Structure 1
Amino acid sequence: MNMEEKEQIDVLIVCALKDEFQQVLQIKEGICGTGWVEKTLASGRLAADARFLGRDNIEISVRVTWASYMGREEASALVHSMLSESDFKCIAMTGICAGRRGKVSLGDVIFAERLWSYDSGKLIKEGDIEVFQGDMLQYRPDTEIVQRMQNLSVDLSAWPISRPKYPLENQENWVIQCLANQIKPFEHDEFDSKCADWQSVLARLLKKKLVTRELTLTDSGLEKANELNLWHPKGLPEPEPFKIHVAPIATGAAVVEDSGLFSRLSHSMRKVLGVDMEASALGALGNINRIPVLVVKAVSDFGDTFKDDQYRHFASQASAQCMLRFLRDNADMFTHHHKVESMNVSTDDLIGFLAEEYPDISDARALWKRAGGRNSDIASNSRPKDMWLNIWQKSINGAAVKPTDLLNIVTHDYPESDLIKSFLTQLSVNKKLY
């Protein structure tokens, strides 16, 4: 297929897992037209497309899909297949990763400013000892993109998923302090807020052999309590607030449960904050095809034995939110130049268009019903303009069919109408009007 025959899409977002893909589809802010449209591509792969309004009225198109399996090989094959079908200006990846304990908090987002495979290299023997010699072939975005990453800020209050208040580890520490003070945790006034995940916390404390089934501290538990009191004599600190980091992410072939991994990685890459199983493959593909690669991962665990699954969905959502916010804020860098020119379309222009294209009451009722309304909502009127003025007033005054619902259906019938596109853009830019 020749380049000119390919469909032009600005950004391809690849997820390693379906639940990460589904979190991307939760993003509605700034979305244009009909929203996310799920489809089956010519290759048979499932994907979803959407357009977003970016800064300076630049429209950015996005296609998102997910890999059937985790790992570099699957991610590489998937992106190669997608590139054979469409022309993308940017390859991106969202999802979860392991984070470096003490440097990041659960739920934090990492924008990758360097990518490499930490398990690529040579394994030799020195006597009876195996020694690994790594090859740190790095992939990194342009410095202008990194600067834009460093400038990003987001508003968590607008997200559909809230960040869990206390990680399981914080809840464990609270229970240990209660027991050290001869207080049964479930009798404490703050039990419901400080230890909302009691069963999971108790199971972890028992597995770590910090408490007994009689809810007394073991010797290891007493040692832990003394350590907590030493470092926090005035009480346990609150969890760190959500942060966005711009730092290296390393890629390896295996799911990590190794508390010493980041310590080893930091010997050769001191600022490394994340580990995943796919990102370096995308970096290599982007480098070969001269396409910028954006990897935005959120921390769901610390790469050790004790995972905290309550952060998984939030981390996937945080990654997707930050990626789409970044793309919208920086649409000038990642688009095929789809700037939406303002036509200063008036309501009179819109009513005139609707009256011309849907002049009969049967046409108007059919359109209204397709948008989610009922035929009985629309009163008969022999004058098309008066009829549509009444319909429009109904939509902006609290009817089940909102203005954007109605116009999104019109775009199905008239996808090339600049007037409808411009009016939808005005609604997106100034939502408080309707």
Structure 2
Amino acid sequence: MKVLVVEDNNEKYNRVHAVLEQAGVSADEITHVIAAAPAFEHLRRTQFDLMLLDVNIPRRLGEVSRRGGGLDLLRELGRESQLRRPTYIVGLTAFEDVVAEFGPTFQDQLWSLVHYSEASDQWISQLSVKVNYIQAANRSRNFSDGETYGCDLAIITALDTVEFEAVLRLPLSWEPLRLQHDETRYQSGTLNTQNGTKSIIAAAAPRMGIAASAILSAKIIHQFRPRYLAMVGICAGRADKVSIGDLIIAEPTWDWGSGKVVSVDGEPKFLPSPHQLDLDPDTASLMKMLAKDGALLSEVRRSASGNRPRTDLTAHVGPLVSGAAVVAHKPAFDALLDQHRGILGVDMEVYSVAAAAQGSARPRPKFLVIKGVSDFADEKKDDDFQEYAASVSAQFLYRAAKEFL
């Protein structure tokens, strides 16, 4: 892994160098320059996996540092075809006002700007996770040993608005992440647990439905090799079993449209042939325990955004089925009970996430789908509780992840 560090403060560079070595980058793969001009020379000759860029650097050797001087290097990378663009770029500055002023510029180009501080180790965690991800990504591009994971948790949603917005509100130090030749906009984050800092990847599918979520799930498994693949968001619930705003943890799931249409007395008749997919036993056991934790559920409800229903938050572990069509017709929903009398809800994606996880190459992720009930799949279906339902599902996953990771 080749790293270019553009930094004119030697003390700061020494700390960064130590962090890189602790993360597994060898000293001979780290190139250090103190100005933009020598950085250009290296970028013409070498393809770097990561460039750590101080925002305030001099243009040439012997000159004084300029506020925002590092941005000139970023702009030149966008214009100059002879320069080899680093695969990843992370800005690093010791000044909070520089983060506030130039952070949006980095984000506009899908890069991140990290606040370096002598008094905090957060930047060390952020940088270490980034390095670990790049190393895992490099390994996965070249070969798969069937055992090595690239990140701890990948989170996907079917909507890039209300559902993904609920994920991005989680306190996971989100940063935009860009992959070459991939138009999906990923977010990378970190979660501090009793067992150390865990790496998180999140993305939203381009549209609702089984196909879009299956493609995103397969792609995110291939790109990041997560230990867990989780989906959060909204679903329709069964009115006599769940309340608006309740959580449904899918166990098991299947495609309710899988089967065969035959002719009976000249009329079409659907014969279902569901293929059920179950949670792994350890995850199922943990989810059942957390679903009974009243204090946790109360905390999730308090932290959720959106229009809150009057009922207390309840979590259910049970059948959540998927189909290619939105169900907004009670008789159609009731007909699904012929496939399983215990069905709690229906959505358009959960089965595809489970199938992608269980059908992937090793190392396979464990899947987990947590959905909030926003309607009852009937003619009264509306959007009043979508934000709350999406929020409680994301907040529950956030707290559950501290346990299963």
TM range (shorter): 0.5 to 0.7
Q: Determine if contact 2:157/2:233 at 8 Å carries over to the other structure.
A: yes
Unaligned runs of 5+ in 2: 1-140
* Deviation of 1:282 (Å): 1.3
SS of 1:280's equivalent in the other structure is: helix
Q: Determine if contact 1:251/1:278 at 8 Å carries over to the other structure.
A: yes
Distance 1:47 1:136, change over 3 A: same
Query: What is the TM-score when the length of structure 2 is the normalising length?
Result: 0.59
SS of 2:371's equivalent in the other structure is: strand
Post-superposition Cα deviations, 1:20-61, rounded to whole Å, max 9, x if no partner, equal 111101112xx4xxx11122222131011111122x334322
Unaligned runs of 5+ in 1: 166-238, 332-434
How far apart in 1 are the matches of 2:191 and 2:308? 29
Aligned partner of 1:272 in structure 2 is 343
The one of 278, 288, 301 aligned to 1:140:
278
* Deviation of 1:156 (Å): 3.2
How far apart in 1 are the matches of 2:315 and 2:144? 36
Query: What is the TM-score when the length of structure 1 is the normalising length?
Result: 0.55
Equivalent pairs, count: 252
SS of 2:388's equivalent in the other structure is: helix
The one of 62, 86, 91 aligned to 2:224:
86
Q: List aligned pairs for 1:162-177, cutoff 5 A.
A: 163-165=307-309
More displaced 10-residue stretch of structure 1: 56-65 or 146-155: 56-65
How far apart in 2 are the matches of 1:304 and 1:27? 31
SS of 2:346's equivalent in the other structure is: strand
Q: List aligned pairs for 1:60-99, cutoff 5 A.
A: 60-99=198-237
Q: Determine if contact 1:12/1:92 at 8 Å carries over to the other structure.
A: yes
Aligned partner of 1:38 in structure 2 is 176
Runs of 4+ in 1 over 4 A off after TM superposition: 4-7
* Deviation of 1:107 (Å): 0.7
Letter in 2 for 1:247: G
Structure with higher RCO (Cα < 8 A, 6+ apart): 1
Identical-pair percentage: 30
Q: Which has the higher strand share?
A: 2
How far apart in 2 are the matches of 1:21 and 1:4? 32
Distance 1:95 1:57, change over 3 A: same
* Deviation of 1:308 (Å): 3.6
Q: Determine if contact 2:300/2:395 at 8 Å carries over to the other structure.
A: no
2:368 is equivalent to residue 294 of structure 1: yes
Aligned partner of 1:159 in structure 2 is 303
How far apart in 1 are the matches of 2:304 and 2:379? 29
Distance 1:144 1:127, change over 3 A: same
Letter in 2 for 1:282: V
How far apart in 2 are the matches of 1:114 and 1:120? 15
2:392 is equivalent to residue 321 of structure 1: no
Q: CA RMSD in A?
A: 1.9
Q: Determine if contact 1:107/1:163 at 8 Å carries over to the other structure.
A: no
The one of 25, 29, 49 aligned to 2:168:
25
SS of 1:324's equivalent in the other structure is: helix
2:131 is equivalent to residue 57 of structure 1: no
SS of 1:117's equivalent in the other structure is: coil
